[in-house]
Structure 1
Amino acid sequence: MGDENSPHCPRNLQNLGESYKHDSLKIVMYRKDESEEYRQTGKAVCVECMQLLTVQDGSHVNRHVKERCKKIKLVATTGEDEYNEKKLSAALISKLTDASTKFCLRSGKAFNFCTSQSVNNYTLDVLNAVSSGYGLDCLKQLPTRTTIQKYTEELAKDLVLKAFNTVRPFAGNRLNLILDHGKLINNYLSVMGSYIDEEFKLMVVPLGFTPALDGKSTLETKNLIVKRFEEFDIPEELVLSSSVTADGALSGLSNYFKGYIRCVSHSLNLVAHRAVVPLDIHKNRMTTEELSTLAAVSDLMKNAQKVSNAIRTNVNLCSRLSRLPVLCVETRWIIGIKCLTDVVELSEEIQANFSALSSIGKQAFSALNLDNFKFAKTVVKFFEEIELYTNVFQSQKSVTMHLVLPTYKRLRARWEKFRNFDFNDLKDSDIDNNVIVTLSSSALHSLYHYYAEFDDLHFASVMLSPKTKKMNAFLDSEVRRAKRAIVNMIPKEATPVRVLEPTAKRDGIDSLYKLVSDSPEEQTEFDEFTQYLSEFVNYGSTETVEEYWRKKRNEFPLLFEVATRVFSIVPSEAVCETAFSTASYLLDKRRSRLGSKKAELVVLGSQIATKFPEWI
């Protein structure tokens, strides 16, 4: 209890009680006369400024002590010393701004996050860990959201400019464009450029994430690409001299660009899809029994999808499984095979938690388990190789163009064996051979159909790969097609002629040898292509295509130039599809109102900064 005559006691208040939340706040007590007990008034008083405050839950008490009470602020200010008055220098602020900009671009975090209280406190802790003495006032010196956004956009512009300057020397020659349309708030066209550099290393550079507001037709796509390159002073004729890799919807680009490369990822997906759901032209070649089997496979895939959905929509069930089956995607049928594979592999765990499934999930899982998953395991076994090959072409860290056609040849040989009841490649006895035969027959129809879509450059790439140059698995017409494509690309400069060093003196033996020698018309020039084809190959070596051509640059200079153009082509546009998953993360609800140009800078800048961290 305090003394009512204390100078700190407000007028008309009898006494002060114990502290309330803070030492500077006292509860106000009251009594009418000395014979009564003190009672709380529901008020507290600040003993520094004598202001009355209501005693109740809320933030007004803390706000008064920390912000509003001028006398408490004055005491706190006068109590500071030189140790916690240290300020950030202009040079250090500039470095922190650059660091925040790079972090924002690399991580794709929102600008607000980079200036949040938690990030600022972390920055202050790091500063004090390196050089102590920085106080809370330093937080006011840290870059604001507006500053970070401005610097980030400028850095992104510099990175985009550097990307175009990097591909500029290869435009019209080695440069290959990779394209993919997608939708994220607006329709966007993702553009990347691939080329082989002077060290025969495949480079893939993000070049655009451009709003396609006018549409997605081939003409509009062409105009969008040309406009994009012209912004960086690369003329239209050089752009159209490039080849493009895209899906079947953009095959019309072959009318504008030097070449159109069918995306192998889409092609393999369609081969697998049409093996189960055949095209109309192929249905006429199949029996009713075969079509019935394929319909059962299609139902099997749908049941696996239902089980996956039932698991992923049940939080408790998700926590009980060692991993989750993948979700199916409408545009990627082959992911359904992965979903079916996961469900089969997790079947024991799912069976143990069968009661947790929804009614739809229970029905679907029971349908899969009718024959102890024999039917499901058969389908998984049939598609396991094509699923593996699809995953290989998803990554573009090295040259893969020469693997496309051999992959189709291998699938053809495998399925022809199955169709002829040769199951030596299948070591698993728990499969239905009749289903394998039916799937093989249907898959071969599909494979022949989509194999015909590949370009001359695909055949040339096989011949330019030392370990497949003999093309033993190919028809004679396909071998001639590959040779013709390579010869047409060899530079027009005359091949260097092998000239023997003249001897200082000739005798009768030399003269006679010259007279009896073969006619010089048979080999007047050093034919690089012929020597390359006849060169010995060590098939047991682990030498890659890149390592081979890097080594043969001086020996086959003209053929080396052809190889750089052919292997600059990336056969799959899967690398472009990743731009949309990246963009969906970057352009979240906090950035949904960004203009299309700023959205492009955010996505493209983040892609380039991630792929080429040394550029920043």
Structure 2
Amino acid sequence: MSSKENIQKSIQNGEYTILDKPKSNATWWNNFNRIKDTNDEIINYVQCVRCKQILAYEPKITGSSTLKNHASSCKVTDVSSNNTIENMWTKKDHIPSGIKRLIGDACAKMCSYDMRPYEMVSGKGFELLCHTLIDVGRKISKPIDISSIIPDPTTISRRVQVLAEESRKTFISNLSQHMKNVKMIGVTGDYWKNSFTSDSYFTITLHYHLNGKIESIMLKTIHVTISKTGGSNIKLRGFFFILENTKKLIYDTLSMHGINVDLCHIVFVTDNGSNMVKALECDAHLRCVCHCINLAVQQSIPVCEQLVNTVGSCQSLVTHFKKCELQNKLTTSLKKDVDTRWNSIVEMLNSVDKVYNEILAVLAERKEEHLVDDLDIHLVRDLIILLEPFKNGSEILSAEKESTLHLVLPFVKKFKQVCEINPSDTVPIKQIKRSLLSNIDEKIWLSELHYIATFLCPETKSLSSLSKSERNSVIKSVRNLLKTLGIENHDSMEEPVIYISKKRIKCDAVHDVLKSFNGSLETSSDDDNEPIDEVNDYIKTKISYPKGQSLLQWWQNNSFRFKKLSQLACSLLAIPASSAASERVFSKTGRILEARRQQLSPESLDSLLFLRNF
């Protein structure tokens, strides 16, 4: 048996582990921690959390009286076991409960008097306001008339535009330096309408690589005016307006931010709208993969009448519960399918399935069981299993701050695997799987850039899911792109800065998809006669890629080894697979262009949105 001194030493050396307090109704146990030895076995000793003394604990021999007595007599101040040096030297402000209550009461009255939402106090802007008011109070240190320092709404409106212009000038100055090391940029764009006035807007967002991270900046939200003189020709006139002006709007916006569109290689990412596709047909244009996935799913359901009836019944059921205010009778609310929102079909089906028994009970009570006559809950559950991977994939591919372009090919393969027909599948599921397979090929547009991006991910660089000729074609495209971007003979590179990712978003799901795509093919060159260059070196080298690590950070960390490829990878992999960044602006404006804020000028709207970047 180890002595108490040896146990104390083993704890200090990290050989023995301190466990959480044992679960017990006895309050005195809160003063002790159990101890685990090097064999992961709990020993017959405990440690006092206050004085750190080691005490013997053998219930059948010593009992618990010694521990009880020590707990009641130990007067040493409790010290947190997870205390750090920073905590030891940083004094935390102690806010009296009375002060907190006063602030809480003031916030409650603000929401009541001014009819503001409760969420108003949770934003970082509100925190900034509070910090500023506290700092001002410290400087003044005497009672003042609060109305004398609160600005007029007109003043705030002017300040928003002034701050936005100041931020824009600073951003343009910084951007000119950033662009020196960027070979390729991504631009997402999206047209949207103010739901209250039907005014049209166009949002332009810039994406580029900076120090191992993706910069995603909303550059401009422009009010678009389309002449309405022509009756039946309005739609046609609108189409040609967008056709002729989309590229000009983008190029003018980039130019005003100091980007030379003639020197910089631009990749556009937009939805599948025919006007956008036509306007950018002569440019490097990728179609938003999430929009394509959504179209593939939406257009596959109508192939089977039973599917249409079941989904339609779910939609009617959700509408009925909302209209009759029956949601409060359910433990979780029902979600409605919205055509313009990705993945909303799956969310609706999931919401119905979770509380289906509760729904039946409510309908039985109201004698409305007929509302589920066409609803096959077993089919609903089969649909959820089938469509869930599409939903998860779409969510991952719509990320804004993580590389996504290299994931398109692996996810397309995953979607096709999900749609493979099994003998146990019901007839409706077989029908929708066939339709999905067809729509995946028809709706999801793949380009050389998708293949190159997949090659530039160490986990999938072998491209084992492709044929030998396809792999060679991709490698040839990589070399051609290096030449196009002027990287081929550019060997100078700044010393790499090593980054360690602190963020691992859904890394398990992404890793599984990449692993599935990569298969079991060994990493090697398909042509032994290929010249010895950086591309072949990358192909043949066995690379350790930590699970969950940021792809851009990996390339940044390995830029000393792959000087040319790292420039290509960092530029290309900063381009998003979807136009979600610009589409999210539409969601944000819903909070800005509320019913009572329809007098907001387009300039003020743009300024408010631009300020959110920083």
TM range (shorter): 0.5 to 0.7
Give deviations 1:515-546, integer Å, cap 9, x for gaps. xxxxxxx9997510001001113477444422
> What is the distance in 2 between the residues matched to 1:442 and 1:247?
22
Residue 451 of structure 2 is matched in structure 1 by 459
TM-aligned CA distance change 1:477 to 1:310, over 3 Å? farther
Deviation at 1:205, TM superposition (A): 1.0
Q: Find the counterpart in structure 1 of residue 201 from structure 2.
A: 188
Tell which deviates more after alignment, 556-565 or 123-132: 123-132
**What CA deviation, in whole Å up to 9, does each residue of 1:87-131 have, x standing for no partner?**
xxxxxxxxxxxxxxxxxxxx998xxxx99xxx9999989976886
Mapped partners of 2:355, 2:119: distance in 1: 35
Task: Kindly indicate whether residue 367 of structure 2 is the aligned counterpart of residue 367 of structure 1.
Answer: no
Q: Residues 43-98 of structure 1: CA distance to partner in whole angstroms, max 9, x if unpaired?
A: xxxxxxxxxxxxxxxxxxxxxxxxxxxxxxxxxxxxxxxxxxxxxxxxxxxxxxxx
Note the 1:300-379 alignment, pairs <5 A: 300-315=310-325, 317-332=326-341, 334-354=343-363, 363-368=370-375, 371=376, 373-379=377-383
How far residue 267 of structure 1 moved from its aligned partner, in angstroms, is 1.0
The DSSP-based 3-state class of the residue aligned with 2:372 is: helix
8 Å contact kept, 2:306–2:428 = no
Give the unaligned 5+ runs of structure 2. 1-117, 227-237, 493-527
SS in structure 1 at match of 2:609: helix
Q: Partner of 1:204 in structure 2? A: 216
In 2: Cα distance, 1:128 partner to 1:333 partner: 47
C-alpha separation in 2, matches of 1:356 and 1:155: 58
Distance 1:234-1:464 versus aligned 2 partners, 3 A rule = closer
2:248 paired residue among 214, 223, 228: 223
Displacement of 1:204 in angstroms is: 0.8
Query: In 1, distance between residues paired with 2:366 and 2:464?
Result: 52
Which residue is 2:417 aligned to?
413
Count of equivalent residues: 434
Separation in 1, partners of 2:159, 2:456: 46
Deviations 1:339-398 (Å, cap 9, x if unpaired)? 012111111222232257796xx5433421xx5x11211112211111111121232221
Relative to the length of structure 2, the TM-score reads: 0.64
2: CA distance between counterparts of 1:357 and 1:394?
A: 42
Instruction: State the Cα deviation string for residues 485-528 of structure 1 (Å, max 9, x = none).
Output: 2111213544879xxxxxxxxxxxxxxxxxxxxxxxx9997510
Give the CA deviation at 1:181.
1.0
Q: CA 1:295–1:220 in structure 2 vs 1: closer, same or farther (change >3 Å)? A: farther
CA 1:228 to 1:495, structure 2 compared with 1: closer, same or farther past 3 Å?
A: closer
Contact in 2 for aligned 1:495/1:527 (Cα 8 Å): no
Change (3 A) 1:141 1:383: closer
Three-state SS of the structure 2 residue aligned to 1:531 is helix
Contact 1:222 1:256 in 2 (8 A): no
Distance 1:210 1:357 in 2: 51
What TM-score do the two structures reach when normalised by structure 1? 0.64
Q: Distance in 1 between matches of 2:130 and 2:365?
A: 45
The RMSD of aligned alpha carbons is 3.4
Which stretch of structure 1 is more off in the superposition, 567-576 or 584-593?
584-593
* 3-state SS in 2 of match to 1:195: strand
Counterparts in 2 of 1:540 and 1:590: CA distance versus 1, 3 Å:
closer
| Range that drifts further, 582-591 or 533-542 | 533-542
Shift of 1:472: 1.1
What amino acid sits opposite 2:295 in the alignment? Answer: L
Taking only the aligned residue pairs, the percentage that are identical comes to 20
Do 2:313 and 2:372's aligned partners in 1 also have CA atoms closer than 8 Å?
yes
What are the residue-to-residue correspondences of 1:167-566 with 2, within 5 Å? 167-168=175-176, 169-170=178-179, 173-184=183-194, 185=197, 186-197=199-210, 199-214=211-226, 215=238, 217-238=242-263, 241-249=265-273, 250-257=276-283, 259-277=284-302, 291=303, 294-315=304-325, 317-332=326-341, 334-354=343-363, 363-368=370-375, 371=376, 373-416=377-420, 418=421, 421=423, 433-451=426-444, 453-490=445-482, 491=486, 493-494=488-489, 527-538=533-544, 541-566=547-572
Indicate if the aligned counterparts of 1:174 and 1:565 stay in contact, CA closer than 8 A.
Answer: yes
Distance 2:471 2:392 in 1: 27
Q: Are 2:393 and 2:411, in contact at CA under 8 Å, matched by a contact in 1?
A: yes
Q: Counterpart of 1:33?
A: none
Task: Identify unmatched segments of 5+ residues in structure 1.
Answer: 1-106, 278-290, 424-431, 498-521
Go from structure 1 to structure 2 and tell me whether the alpha carbon gap of 1:542 and 1:145 turns closer, same or farther (over 3 Å shift).
closer
Secondary structure in 1 aligned to 2:201? strand
SS for the counterpart of 2:262 is helix
Structure 1 residues 449 and 378: CA distance shift in structure 2, 3 A: same
Check conservation: 2:213, 2:553, Cα contact below 8 A: no
Aligned to 1:395, what secondary structure does the other structure show? coil
| C-alpha distance in structure 2 between counterparts of 1:385 and 1:474, whole Å | 22
1:303 maps to a residue whose letter is S
Per-residue deviation, 1:212: 2.1
The separation in 1 between residues aligned to 2:173 and 2:370, in whole angstroms, is 58
2:439 maps to a residue whose letter is: S
Residues 304 and 364 of structure 1 are in contact (CA less than 8 Å); yes or no, is this contact kept in structure 2? no
1:46-61 equivalences in 2 (<5 Å): none
